[in-house]
C-alpha cells in the first residue's frame, strides 16, 4: 500500500490473524479456508474409496457369472458405495467449497461460528472413519443406502452392519446440522455492507437452500435411525407388523429426508453452475433473481414429492396422483434455471475453458437425467422399471451429471484461488473428454439393461439374457471414467508447483472471492468491501474505493478477529462481531462424541455414559473462555 496508514493497518491485521504452522495450529485452527480445504481433500478421498467399490462391482458384472466377489461382499460394496457417495463425498465436497467460498463471496472474514465450523469438519471425519471401520470387523452396512426394513431389522440382519449405518449417520447428522446452521447465519447476517438480499451470489443461494433443506429434512432420517436402533438393540417396536409396527414407516421417514437430500446435493451444484456461466459467458447472469427464486422454490417443493420413491409399495391411487403431479411441478423451477443458463450463454460471448466444458457436460447429462426423471413421474412406467438398471442409469445421470460435473467444474474454476496456480489447460481438456465419454459409456447402456429387465443390486446374471455386451460396455466406460478422474488428480497435484502463477483474478470474474489475493490472506480482505451491484468484482470503481478505504483505515476492523454484521434484508451495517481464534475444543468435543458412538456400538453402556459425560464436559469447556479473552 502506498500510504503509511494503509501499511500499518495491514501489519496490524497480519499480527492479529496470522497462524503459526505446526501441529498445534493444525489441530486447533478455525480458519474457514483451511477447514474448507480439509473438507475438499477428505471428501475426495471418500470419493476415491466409493469409486474403488464401484469399479469392483463393474468388474464383477463385466461378464455373466463373474467370480470376483460373492453376494455378501457385493451387498456391502453397493451399500457403502451409495452411503459414501451421498453422505461422505458429494455433500461434504460441496460444503468444502461452501466453507471456503461463502465468506469470501459475501465479503466476510470468517463464518459466523468459526469453532462450530471446525467442529463440523472433525465430526465429519470421525463419522466417516466410524462408518469405514465397519470393514475392519467385516460388518459393513449391506442393506443398500436406503436400508429398508424389514431387511434391516435384527431378525434378518443380525450382525453389527446396520448398527454401523444407524449410528454412523446419526453421528454425521451432528456435523451436517452444525454446518447448515453456520452457513445460514453466515449468509444472512455477515454479508458485506450493501449486499442486499437480491445481490447474494447464486452459489450462496445454493448453499443457503441446501442448509435450509438439511435443517428441515435430516431430523426425519434421524428419527428413523433412532427408531431402528432402539428396535435392534433394545427390542422396541416400530417397523415390525407383529407388534403394531409398520415396515413402510421406515420408507416414509427415509424418503421425507431422502428426496430433499437430492436437492441438498443438487442445489449447491446448481449454484456452482450459476457462478461459472456468467464468468465464461462474459456477461451478467440473465434472470439472476429468478434463478435465486427457482433455487429456493426447488428446495421447498422438494419436501412434497417423497412418495414418488414409493410408487411400487401399494399406497392409494389418490396419494399417487398427488405425488405424481407434485413431482412434475419440479420441472418448472428446473426449467427456469436451465433456460437462464442457456440464455446467458447465448447472449454472451462464451470463452470455452475447462470449467465451462464441465458445465456444458453438466447441461447435457442433466437434461437426459431430467427427461428420464419426468418419465418416472408417470406411475405405470415407474412400476415397470422399478428396481432395474433404468433407475440406476437415471439417478447417476442426475447425481453424477447434476453434482459431480459441477464439482469438477468448481475444482478447475477455484483451483487458482486456493493455490495461486493455474491448472494445465491441455491436460484438463483431455481429462474432461475422457471423463465425459467414460461417464456416458458407463451409464447410458444401463438404460437399455433396465428396459431389458436386469435387476439392480444382484451380484451376477445368467449368460442367456443377452445382457453381457451392454454390461461389458458399461464396465469399459467405468474404467475410462476413472482414467478421466485420474487425469484431473494428476493435474491438481502437478500444478501445485508447476502451474502458471494465477494472480488475484485470472478469469476476470464477477464475485468477491476474486477481489483478494490468491490464496487469500487469513483475514480475507484488508478492508471489508462495500457492494453496490450483483457483480461486485466488475464494479472497478467500487474496488478502488476499497483500497482507498484501507488507506484511511476505514472498515479495516483491527480490534480483534472481527467482521461486519449486517441486517439480513438490506445489508446495512448493524454491528461488529468478534469471533474466536484458535481453539482445541472442537476437536476434543468430536473425540468425546466418537467415544460415545463407539461405546454405544460395542454395547458397553457404562463407557457410553462416560462418553456422554465427556461430551457435556467438552461443551462446557468450550464455553469457559469468551472470544477475545
Residues that bind another protein (CB under 8 A): 112-113, 116, 177, 180-182, 184-185, 188-189, 193, 215-220, 222-224, 226-227, 230-231, 234-238, 243-246, 249, 252-253, 256, 530, 545, 548-549, 552, 554-555, 557, 559, 564-565, 567, 573-577, 616, 620, 623, 626-627
Of 49 and 307, nearer to another protein (C-beta) is 307
The minimum distance between CB 554 and another protein, in angstroms, equals 5
| Main-chain phi, psi angles of 421, to 5 degrees | -120, 155
Shortest Å distance, C-beta 614 to another protein: 14
Cβ proximity to another protein: between 218 and 281 the closer is 218
How far apart are alpha carbons 31 and 222 in whole angstroms? 29
- C-beta of 602: minimal distance to another protein in Å? 22
- Provide the minimum distance between the beta carbon of 229 and another protein in the complex, in angstroms, as a whole number: 11
CA distances from 537 to 161, 202, 545 (A): 51, 14, 12
Please enumerate in sequence order all residues whose Cβ is within 8 A of that of 26, keeping only pairs 6 or more positions apart, or say none.
none
Nearer to another protein, 21 or 623 (CB): 623
**CA dist., res. 73 & res. 353, Å (int):** 42
Min dist CB 101 to another protein, Å, is 20
Whichever of 231 and 424 has its CB closer to another protein, that residue is 231
Residue 185 or 364 with smaller CB distance to another protein:
185
Least separation, in Å, of the C-beta of 399 and another protein?
A: 24
Around 331, how many Cα atoms within 13 Å sit in the side-chain half-sphere?
Answer: 16
Report the residue number, 491 or 563, with the smaller CB distance to another protein.
563
Grid coordinates representing 128?
466417516
Closest CA to 474 of 144, 79, 54: 54
What would the 3-class secondary structure string for 543-588 be? HHHHHHHHHCCCCCCCCCCEEEEECCCCCCEEEEEECCCCCCHHHH
Q: DSSP characters for 326-395? A: HHHHTHHHHHHHHHHHHHHHHHS-----HHHHHHHHHHHHHHHHHHHHHHHHSHHHHHHHTTBHHHHHHH
Nearer to another protein, 468 or 565 (CB): 565
118/368 with CB nearer another protein: 118
CA atoms within 13 A of residue 70's CA, in its CB half-sphere? 1
Here the cell at position 180 is 447448515
Amino acid at each position: 500500500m502506498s500510504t503509511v496508514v494503509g501499511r500499518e493497518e495491514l501489519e496490524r491485521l497480519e499480527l492479529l490473524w496470522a497462524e503459526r504452522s505446526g501441529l498445534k495450529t493444525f489441530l486447533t485452527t478455525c480458519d474457514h479456508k483451511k477447514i474448507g480445504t480439509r473438507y475438499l481433500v477428505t471428501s475426495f478421498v471418500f470419493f476415491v474409496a466409493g469409486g474403488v467399490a464401484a469399479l469392483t462391482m463393474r468388474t464383477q458384472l463385466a461378464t455373466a457369472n463373474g467370480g470376483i466377489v460373492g453376494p455378501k461382499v457385493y451387498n456391502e460394496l453397493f451399500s457403502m458405495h451409495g452411503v459414501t457417495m451421498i453422505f461422505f463425498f458429494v455433500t461434504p465436497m460441496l460444503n468444502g467449497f461452501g466453507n471456503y467460498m461463502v465468506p469470501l463471496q459475501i465479503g466476510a472474514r470468517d463464518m459466523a461460528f468459526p469453532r462450530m465450523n471446525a467442529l463440523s469438519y472433525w465430526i465429519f471425519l470421525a463419522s466417516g472413519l466410524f462408518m469405514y471401520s465397519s470393514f475392519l470387523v467385516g460388518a459393513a452396512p449391506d442393506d443398500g443406502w436406503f436400508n429398508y426394513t424389514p431387511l434391516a431389522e435384527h431378525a434378518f440382519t443380525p450382525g453389527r452392519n446396520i448398527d454401523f449405518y444407524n449410528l454412523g449417520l446419526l453421528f454425521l447428522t451432528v456435523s451436517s446440522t452444525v454446518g447448515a446452521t453456520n452457513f445460514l447465519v453466515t449468509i444472512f447476517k455477515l454479508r458485506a455492507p450493501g449486499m442486499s438480499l437480491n445481490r447474494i451470489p447464486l452459489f450462496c443461494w445454493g448453499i443457503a437452500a441446501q442448509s435450509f433443506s438439511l435443517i428441515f429434512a435430516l431430523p426425519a432420517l434421524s428419527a428413523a435411525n433412532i427408531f431402528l436402533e432402539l428396535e435392534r438393540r433394545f427390542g422396541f417396536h416400530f417397523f415390525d407388523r407383529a407388534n403394531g409396527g409398520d415396515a413402510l414407516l421406515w420408507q416414509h421417514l427415509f424418503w421425507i429426508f431422502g428426496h430433499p437430500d437430492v436437492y441438498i446435493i443438487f442445489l449447491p451444484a446448481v449454484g456452482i453452475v450459476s457462478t461459472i456461466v456468467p464468468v465464461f459467458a462474459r456477461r451478467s447472469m440473465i434472470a439472476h433473481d429468478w434463478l435465486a427464486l427457482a433455487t429456493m422454490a426447488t428446495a421447498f417443493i422438494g419436501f412434497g414429492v417423497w412418495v414418488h420413491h414409493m410408487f411400487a409399495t401399494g399406497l392409494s391411487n389418490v396419494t399417487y396422483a398427488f405425488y405424481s403431479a407434485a413431482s412434475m411441478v419440479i420441472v418448472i423451477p428446473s426449467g427456469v434455471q436451465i433456460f437462464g443458463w442457456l440464455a446467458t450463454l447465448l447472449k454472451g460471448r462464451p470463452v470455452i475453458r475447462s470449467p465451462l466444458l464441465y458445465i456444458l457436460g453438466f447441461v447435457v447429462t442433466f437434461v437426459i437425467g431430467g427427461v428420464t426423471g419426468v418419465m418416472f413421474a408417470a406411475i405405470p412406467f415407474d412400476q415397470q422399471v422399478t428396481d432395474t438398471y433404468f433407475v440406476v442409469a437415471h439417478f447417476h445421470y442426475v447425481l453424477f451429471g447434476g453434482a459431480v460435473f459441477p464439482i469438477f467444474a468448481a475444482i478447475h474454476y477455484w483451483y487458482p484461488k486456493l493455490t495461486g496456480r493455474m491448472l494445465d489447460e491441455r491436460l484438463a481438456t483431455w481429462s474432461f473428454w475422457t471423463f465425459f465419454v467414460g461417464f456416458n459409456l458407463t451409464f447410458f447402456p444401463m438404460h437399455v439393461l433396465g428396459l431389458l429387465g436386469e435387476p439392480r443390486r444382484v451380484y451376477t446374471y445368467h449368460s442367456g439374457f443377452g445382457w453381457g455386451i451392454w454390461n461389458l460396455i458399461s464396465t469399459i466406460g467405468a474404467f475410462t471414467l476413472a482414467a478421466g478422474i485420474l487425469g484431473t488428480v494428476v493435474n491438481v497435484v502437478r500444478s501445485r508447483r508447476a502451474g502458471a502463477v494465477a494472480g488475484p483474478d485470472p478469469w476476470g470474474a464477477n464475485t468477491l472471492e476474486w477481489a483478494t489475493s490468491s490464496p487469500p490472506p487469513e483475514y480475507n480482505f484488508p478492508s471489508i468491501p462495500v457492494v453496490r451491484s450483483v457483480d461486485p468484482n466488475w464494479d472497478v470503481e467500487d474496488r478502488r474505493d476499497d483500497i482507498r478505504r484501507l488507506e484511511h483505515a476505514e472498515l479495516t476492523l483491527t480490534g480483534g478477529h472481527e467482521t461486519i454484521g449486517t441486517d439480513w434484508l438490506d445489508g446495512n451495517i448493524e454491528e461488529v462481531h468478534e469471533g474466536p481464534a484458535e481453539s482445541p475444543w472442537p476437536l476434543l468435543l468430536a473425540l468425546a462424541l466418537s467415544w460415545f458412538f463407539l461405546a454405544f456400538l460395542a454395547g458397553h453402556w457404562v463407557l457410553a455414559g462416560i462418553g456422554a459425560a465427556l461430551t457435556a464436559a467438552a461443551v462446557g469447556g468450550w464455553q469457559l473462555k469468551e472470544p477475545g479473552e
